[in-house]
């Protein structure tokens, strides 16, 4: 081989190598999505906005938006690739029920059991789901797509992923990103709505402290909860079944190891996998569409409507309650199932008006009821539209 | 009870698989029983999910098999929502010989996907493959599908005299009544009605979403209202049981219930918890102050090595001067 042909061969090799690099496939869309991923990482690390979710999702966005030569079994949408295999748990709806198992194993339903009327707030706040559903229909989405978008208003990431993977898989990335983003922004979105809808007198309402709940009640709760909700909405079984199962593991007192695994290593592993793969599924080519922009707008609207529904329900409910039993409407926002962020918002806003009025424990009631309510709502939508 | 179960294991089982159960006694027995019930249930469910769905006894001008031949055919439908393997079952047209054609095991094609069909050709040519039976459909007017045990009849059919090139099938896959089919539909649904997608139906009938909203919100409220009712009453029952047991019930009018203002108050669980938590917090604080009464001085032993020396491994941060 003479020197010229050697250089020619090396040149061709270099050219071929360059065609394999991400730079040769980079588009503006990829750069935009990378910027979004970096913003997520910044928000999570700098401001600690839902870091457990935003860091895997943000990093997943970076992973998913590094362009490559198709056909090498690298991308999340390429059958047989590692990411594709991990993504299988998302598209088949495996991860969300496992997360619900962990949520059940870490949730204390005492606040709800001691004051069961707070459950109704959790139902009222689901108005956000159906408010967004109605608006989405007006924006020319099909009912199945509108339902997948509307579930963002439930403020429950796993439920949003579960339902969108079933009803509108093509929107799942946008729905999941939107749901988690707005969950992180609950402290920003909800307080203005809460203050707008309540009077100073209402914000100062002091609620009776919750009573102590017996072990027996805590054990019965997941069993009765499962039977009552799933007999009415069997399509919610994957989520509700796992939620109540996890709670029984916790409350039975005899399966401590299982409960610890469910609320510890298991939920951590699944959170990592779901966050990373959902983030990676937002490839610019499939994600950057006008539909995604509309989904983000609808997501914000759904959170506002959900907060409105919860707070207004408490105000109306108070009309029928005796003095001393009244509910502070500032816990109405906690009917969305962003646990425990929305309950924390109730506490913070409540303290702004009365330094001694702690609403956190009261708000945890509708907050966990919201988890049940959003899972029931998802089951209904799945039953009607799948 | 425990000894009886142990004895039962000793008498009935000697296989290594059961030795663990003997070792664990009642626990092992329960686990084994659940596992056996589950496996029996799963097997039973699979076997009963198959259905004779359609067949053609006289095929003169109708569908041909892979060899270009026309013969009678039998369609089997998997009515479940899971994959079912028909391999190992038996097809027959003789009530006295249920095992006439054993469907070969191990052929991947005998796995029937959820709500799907397979066709067997009754051409008496089993050498043509798994799906070619070793009998013709004669005038027995009877077909039967039997489970792998050779005894359990999964589905059977007694049919009337057949018409050439007209199939005889269920009106709806797996469940409908048997009748002569208007159209012959081997390997596909017997019911030809085009089902409208749920989403399109809602788009047409509820374009605003109001009906869905009202329905769904009603159901959500109903479900949680039921939970509310249940736990309201369970809470009352719990308080009642507590009262019966005489746990910390403060009699009415006792000093603990009367405040300075003279108003009666319920004992506050939250306040009690807060007091306990604060007391524990104080206790721990004090413990930490008093705990370190013993001063222990240990000789620091450092095995010197250039590999762990900071002098060799670190350098100063460069400073631009």
By the 8 A CB rule, do B219 and B202 touch? no
Q: Which residues from A are below 8 Å from B204, CB to CB?
A: none
pLDDT in tens, A268-301: 999 999 999 989 988 887 788 888 889 988 999 9
Q: Which residues from B are below 8 Å from A385, CB to CB?
A: 198-199, 202
Contacts of B272 (CB under 8 A, 6+ apart): A212
Q: Which of B180, B213, B240 is the last residue of a domain?
A: B180
Which residue of chain A has the CA closest to B204? A143
SS (HEC) of chain B: CHHHHHHHHHHHCCCHHHHHHHHHCHHHHHHHHHHHHHHHHHHHHHHHCEEEEEEECCCCCCCCCCCCCCCEEEEEEECCCCCEECCCCEEECCCCCCCCEECCCCCHHHEECCCCEEEEEEECCHHHCCCECCCECCCCCEEEEECCCCCCEEEEEECCCCCCCCCEEECCCCCCCEEECCCCCCCCCCCCCCCCCHHHHHHHHCCCCHHHHHHHHHHHHHHHHHHHHHHHHHHHHHHHHHHHHCCCCCCCCCHHHECCCCCECCCCHHHHHHHHHHHHHHHHHHHHHHHCCCCCCCCCCCCCCHHHCHHHHCCCCCCCC
Q: Which residues from A are below 8 Å from B202, CB to CB?
A: 143, 384-385
Taking the Cβ of residue B95 and every Cβ of chain A, the question of whether any pair is shorter than 8 Å is answered with no
Find the CB nearest A373 among B209, B224, B241. Answer: B224
Domain co-membership, B146 together with B87: yes
**Residue B141, min C-alpha distance to chain A (Å):** 41
**pLDDT exceeds cutoff 70 at B305:** no
Q: Which residues from B are below 8 Å from A210, CB to CB?
A: 269-270
Residues spanned by the domain of A129: 107-385
| Residue B155 forms part of a structural domain | yes
What are the CA-CA distances from residue A291 to residues A187, A299, B245, B290, B296 (Å)? 26, 12, 62, 65, 68
Judged by average pLDDT, the poorest of A156-170, A181-195, B7-21 is B7-21
**pLDDT exceeds cutoff 50 at A382:** yes
**pLDDT exceeds cutoff 60 at B288:** no
**Residue B142, min C-alpha distance to chain A (Å):** 39
Which of B214, B225, B227 is the best substitution to test chain A (most A C-beta atoms within 10 A)?
B227
Please, which contacts does B160-164 make with residues 24 or more away whose CB atoms are closer than 8 Å?
B162/B56, B162/B57, B162/B58, B163/B58, B164/B58, B164/B59, B164/B60
At B53, is the pLDDT very low, low, confident or very high (cuts 50, 70, 90)? very high
Find the CB nearest B220 among A167, A221, A377. Answer: A377
**pLDDT exceeds cutoff 60 at B169:** yes
**CB spacing of A130 vs B212 below 8 angstroms:** yes
CATH code of the domain containing B104:
2.60.40
Taking the Cβ of residue B210 and every Cβ of chain A, the question of whether any pair is shorter than 8 Å is answered with yes
**pLDDT exceeds cutoff 50 at A362:** yes
Residues spanned by the domain of B77: 49-180
| Residue A174 forms part of a structural domain | yes
Beta bridge partners of B144: B92, B156
Domain co-membership, B165 together with B98: yes
Higher pLDDT, B306 or A270: A270
As for how many domains chain A has, the answer is: 1
Per-residue pLDDT, A287: 80
**CB spacing of B225 vs A123 below 8 angstroms:** yes
- Listed residue (A29, A381, A57, A11) closest to B217, CA to CA: A381
**Residue B311, min C-alpha distance to chain A (Å):** 35
Q: How far apart are CA A354 and CA A341, in angstroms?
A: 20
**Residue A125, min C-alpha distance to chain B (Å):** 10
**pLDDT exceeds cutoff 60 at B176:** yes
At B257, is the pLDDT very low, low, confident or very high (cuts 50, 70, 90)? very low
Taking the Cβ of residue B265 and every Cβ of chain A, the question of whether any pair is shorter than 8 Å is answered with no
pLDDT in tens, A206-223: 988 888 888 888 999 999
Mean pLDDT to the nearest integer, B234-253: 70
Domain co-membership, B53 together with B166: yes
Domain co-membership, B75 together with B167: yes
**What is the Cα A302 distance to its own chain's centre?**
13
Taking the Cβ of residue B264 and every Cβ of chain A, the question of whether any pair is shorter than 8 Å is answered with no
Higher pLDDT, B95 or B289: B95
Per-residue pLDDT, B315: 63
* A-proximal residues of B, 268-307, CB under 8 Å: 268-273
Domain co-membership, B61 together with B98: yes
Mean pLDDT to the nearest integer, B213-235: 90
Domain co-membership, B37 together with B67: no
| Residue A52 forms part of a structural domain | no
Taking the Cβ of residue B27 and every Cβ of chain A, the question of whether any pair is shorter than 8 Å is answered with no
Domain co-membership, B26 together with B55: no
Which of A111, A117, A119 is the best substitution to test chain B (most B C-beta atoms within 10 A)?
A119
Mean pLDDT to the nearest integer, B143-158: 90
Per-residue pLDDT, B238: 80
Where do we find the tokens 């919201």?
A370
Q: Is the peptide bond before A237 cis (omega within 30 degrees of 0)?
A: no
Tokens of B10: 């000793």
Per-residue pLDDT, A24: 85
| Residue B12 forms part of a structural domain | yes
| Residue A212 forms part of a structural domain | yes
Beta bridge partners of B78: B50
**CB spacing of A233 vs B219 below 8 angstroms:** yes
- Listed residue (A127, A125, A121, A122) closest to A321, CA to CA: A121
**CB spacing of A216 vs B213 below 8 angstroms:** no
At A252, is the pLDDT very low, low, confident or very high (cuts 50, 70, 90)? very high
**CB spacing of B209 vs A209 below 8 angstroms:** no
B232-266 per-residue burial string, b: 16 or more CB within 10 A, e: under 16: eebbeebeeeeeeeeeeeeeeeeeeeeeeeeeeee
Domain co-membership, B28 together with B110: no
Domain co-membership, B130 together with B31: no
**CB spacing of A120 vs B207 below 8 angstroms:** no
Which of A211, A317, A377, A379 is the best substitution to test chain B (most B C-beta atoms within 10 A)?
A211
Beta bridge partners of B180: B168
Judged by average pLDDT, the poorest of A143-157, A260-274, B120-134, B286-300 is B286-300
Q: Which residues from B are below 8 Å from A227, CB to CB?
A: none
**Residue B168, min C-alpha distance to chain A (Å):** 32
Domain co-membership, B208 together with B152: no
Q: How many CA atoms lie within 13 A of B172 on its CB side?
A: 5
Domain co-membership, B54 together with B158: yes
Quick check: pTM over 0.80?
no
As for how many domains chain B has, the answer is: 3
Domain co-membership, B79 together with B167: yes
Please report, in angstroms and rounded to a whole number, the separation of the first and last CA atoms in chain A. 65
Per-residue pLDDT, A270: 94
Which residue of chain A has the CA closest to B242? A214
| Residue A87 forms part of a structural domain | no
Taking the Cβ of residue B240 and every Cβ of chain A, the question of whether any pair is shorter than 8 Å is answered with no
Find the CB nearest B217 among A113, A130, A212. Answer: A130
**pLDDT exceeds cutoff 70 at B123:** yes
Q: How far apart are CA A326 and CA A334, in angstroms?
A: 16
Taking the Cβ of residue B41 and every Cβ of chain A, the question of whether any pair is shorter than 8 Å is answered with no
Mean pLDDT to the nearest integer, B220-229: 91
Find the CB nearest B222 among A127, A213, A232. Answer: A232
Find the CB nearest B209 among A146, A213, A224. Answer: A146
**CB spacing of B212 vs A221 below 8 angstroms:** no
Beta bridge partners of B155: B145
DSSP string computed for A94-147? -HHHHHHHHHHHH--THHHHHSGGGHHHHHHTTHHHHHHHHHHHHTT--HHHHH
Taking the Cβ of residue B152 and every Cβ of chain A, the question of whether any pair is shorter than 8 Å is answered with no
Per-residue pLDDT, B26: 52
Per-residue pLDDT, A86: 94
Per-residue pLDDT, A7: 86
Tokens of A290: 């006008």
Find the CB nearest B199 among A116, A129, A143. Answer: A143
Secondary structure element (H or E) that encloses residue A282, with its range: none
Interface size A-B, in CB pairs within 8 Å, comes to 136
At B313, is the pLDDT very low, low, confident or very high (cuts 50, 70, 90)? low
Which of B209, B222, B265, B268 is the best substitution to test chain A (most A C-beta atoms within 10 A)?
B209
**CB spacing of A209 vs B213 below 8 angstroms:** no
**Residue B211, min C-alpha distance to chain A (Å):** 10
Mean pLDDT to the nearest integer, A5-11: 87
**Residue A274, min C-alpha distance to chain B (Å):** 26
| Residue A18 forms part of a structural domain | no
Q: Which residues from B are below 8 Å from A235, CB to CB?
A: none
By the 8 A CB rule, do A381 and A120 touch? no
Find the CB nearest B227 among A138, A225, A384. Answer: A225
| Residue A85 forms part of a structural domain | no
**CB spacing of B268 vs A221 below 8 angstroms:** no
Higher pLDDT, B314 or B16: B314
- In eight-state DSSP terms, residue A385 is H
Q: Which residues from A are below 8 Å from B266, CB to CB?
A: 208
| Residue A64 forms part of a structural domain | no
Beta bridge partners of B111: B85
At B2, is the pLDDT very low, low, confident or very high (cuts 50, 70, 90)? very low
**Residue A355, min C-alpha distance to chain B (Å):** 17
Find the CB nearest A120 among B224, B270, B271. Answer: B224
What are the CA-CA distances from residue A345 to residues A307, A348, A351, B190 (Å)? 11, 5, 10, 57
| Residue B283 forms part of a structural domain | no
């Amino acid at each position: 081989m003479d020197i010229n042909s050697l250089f020619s061969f090396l040149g061709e090799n270099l050219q071929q190598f360059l065609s394999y690099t991400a730079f040769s496939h980079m588009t503006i869309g990829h750069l935009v999505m990378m910027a979004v991923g970096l913003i997520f990482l910044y928000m999570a690390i700098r401001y600690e906005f839902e870091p457990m979710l935003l860091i895997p999702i943000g990093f997943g966005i970076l992973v998913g938006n590094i362009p490559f030569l198709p056909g090498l079994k690298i991308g999340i949408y390429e059958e047989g690739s590692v990411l594709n295999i991990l993504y299988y748990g998302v598209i088949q709806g495996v991860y969300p029920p496992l997360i619900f198992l962990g949520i059940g194993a870490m949730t204390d339903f005492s606040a709800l059991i001691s004051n069961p009327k707070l459950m109704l707030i959790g139902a009222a706040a689901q108005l956000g789901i159906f408010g967004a559903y109605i608006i989405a229909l007006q924006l020319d989405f099909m009912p199945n797509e509108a339902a997948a978008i509307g579930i963002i208003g439930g403020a429950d990431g796993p439920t949003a992923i579960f339902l969108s993977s079933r009803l509108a898989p093509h929107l799942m990335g946008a729905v999941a990103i939107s749901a988690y983003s707005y969950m992180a922004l609950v402290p920003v979105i909800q307080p203005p709505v809460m203050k707008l809808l309540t009077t100073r007198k209402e914000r100062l309402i002091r609620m009776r402290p919750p009573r102590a709940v017996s072990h027996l009640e805590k054990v019965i709760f997941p069993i009765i909860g499962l039977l009552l909700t799933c007999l009415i909405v069997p399509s919610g079984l994957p989520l509700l079944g796992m939620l109540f199962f996890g709670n029984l593991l916790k409350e039975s007192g005899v399966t401590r190891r299982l409960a610890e695994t469910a609320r510890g290593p298991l939920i951590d592993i699944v959170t990592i996998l779901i966050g990373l793969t959902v983030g990676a599924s937002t490839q610019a080519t499939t994600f950057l569409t006008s539909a995604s922009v509309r989904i983000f707008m609808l997501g914000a609207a759904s959170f506002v409507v959900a907060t409105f529904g919860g707070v207004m329900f408490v105000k109306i409910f108070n009309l029928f309650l005796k003095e001393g039993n009244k509910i502070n409407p500032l816990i109405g926002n906690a009917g969305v199932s962003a646990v425990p962020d929305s309950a924390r918002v109730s506490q913070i806003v409540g303290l702004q008006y009365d330094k001694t009025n702690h609403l956190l424990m009261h708000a945890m009631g509708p907050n966990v009821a919201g988890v049940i309510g959003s899972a029931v709502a998802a089951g209904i939508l799945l039953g009607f539209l799948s | 009870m425990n000894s009886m179960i142990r004895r039962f294991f000793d008498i009935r089982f000697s296989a290594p698989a059961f030795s663990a159960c003997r070792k664990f006694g009642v626990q092992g027995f329960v686990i084994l029983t659940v596992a056996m019930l589950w496996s029996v249930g799963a097997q039973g469910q699979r076997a009963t999910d198959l259905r004779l769905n359609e067949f053609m006894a006289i095929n003169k001008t109708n569908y041909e098999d892979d060899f270009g031949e026309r013969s009678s055919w039998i369609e089997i439908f998997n009515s479940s929502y899971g994959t079912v393997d028909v391999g190992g079952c038996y097809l027959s047209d003789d009530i006295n010989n249920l095992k006439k054609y054993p469907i070969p095991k191990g052929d991947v094609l005998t796995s029937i996907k959820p709500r799907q069909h397979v066709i067997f050709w009754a051409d008496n040519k089993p050498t043509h493959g798994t799906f070619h039976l070793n009998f013709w459909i004669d005038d027995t007017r009877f077909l039967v599908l039997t489970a792998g045990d050779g005894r359990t009849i999964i589905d059977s059919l007694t049919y009337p005299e057949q018409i050439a090139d007209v199939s005889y099938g269920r009106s709806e896959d797996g469940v409908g009544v048997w009748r002569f089919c208007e159209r012959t539909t081997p390997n596909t649904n017997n019911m030809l009605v085009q089902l409208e997608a749920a989403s399109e139906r809602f788009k047409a009938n509820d374009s605003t979403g109001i009906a869905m909203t009202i329905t769904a919100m009603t159901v959500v409220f109903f479900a949680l209202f039921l939970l509310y009712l249940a736990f309201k009453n369970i809470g009352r029952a719990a308080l009642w049981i507590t009262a019966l047991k005489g746990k910390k019930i403060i009699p009415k009018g006792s000093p603990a219930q009367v405040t300075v203002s003279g108003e009666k108050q319920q004992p506050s669980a939250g306040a009690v918890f807060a007091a306990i938590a604060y007391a524990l917090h104080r206790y721990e604080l004090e413990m930490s102050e008093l705990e370190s009464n013993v001063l222990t001085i240990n000789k620091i032993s450092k095995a010197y090595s250039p590999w762990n020396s900071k002098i060799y491994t670190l350098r100063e941060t460069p400073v631009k001067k």
